[in-house]
Amino acid sequence: MTLAKRVIPCLDVAGGRVVKGVNFKDLVDAGDPVELAKKYGLEGADELTFLDISASIEERATTLEIVRRTAEQVFIPLTVGGGIRSAENVNELLRAGADKISINTAAIARPDLINEISDRFGNQVLVLSVDARRADTKSGFEVTTHGGRQSSGLDTLAWIEEGIRRGAGEILLNSMDADGTKSGFDIEMLKAVREISSVPVIASGGAGKISDFALAIEAGADAVLAASVFHFGNFTIKDVKKDLEKCGFSIRA
């Protein structure tokens, strides 16, 4: 049986508002996270990803109150990321209504965090978020931290393999080169990750045209994630699903 491909809107939240920029810079306001979450739930989103993009930079935890209010409005799986440093942080977010959590910077600083979360809550709860860009590494891609601002020195494929070995249940692959550019997903990087990943891969970064989503799934993505094209009304989730269905992919109604 072919698993249905998922379409996931992403709420990048800073200062309590949804924001969007190019390569995480020049952020513009895109609305209220609770209102947008409700809207996307009604429009047929398969899941919702909520990333507190300033939490790691400001060295604070994700805003629990906004997560709680968002979770009350949506009846689809909610993934929350940003500023998660411990299994206890995860426990608080799950109690606030998150279904999955996404870690990035803290996992690179202390990889044992992946094991701790997976062992306590199960790998189905854990999404390893990887902000990657082209670089002079073995695979040609490196992992960045702090919203793409800093190089980690890690090779992207080696890090993903380690993350899966430690218990990550899903990979959120965000192309920092493509992020916010609307030039299409990074197909080359996606194919490289698909070859080595034994868990689902979510493609993120670069969606600009409806046809971009089908190309990402052809390259091996199990789910496609986008932000600005949905926030600013370029097209709807239903439009994307209709095109994926037309291209022969199995989708959720």
Residues 6+ apart with CB under 8 A from 105: 56, 145, 146
- Look-up: residue for tokens 């970064």? 205
Give the distance from CA 232 to its chain's centroid.
19
Based on the residue annotation, tell me whether 131 is a catalytic residue of this protein.
yes
Q: Which amino acid, 135?
A: A
Neighbours of 209 (CB within 10 A): 15
Cα distances (Å, whole numbers) of residue 54 to 18, 136, 231 = 11, 28, 19
- Options 52, 131, 155, 243, the catalytic residue: 131
Contact 171, 184 (CB under 8 A): no
Distance CA 153, CA 188 (A): 20
Of residues 12, 32, 52, 212, which has the active-site annotation?
12
Pair of tokens at residue 27: 């952020």
Q: Which two tokens stand for residue 33?
A: 């996270």
Closest CA to 182 of 206, 205, 204: 206
Beta carbons within 10 angstroms of residue 187's beta carbon: 19
Active-site residues, by number, are 12, 131
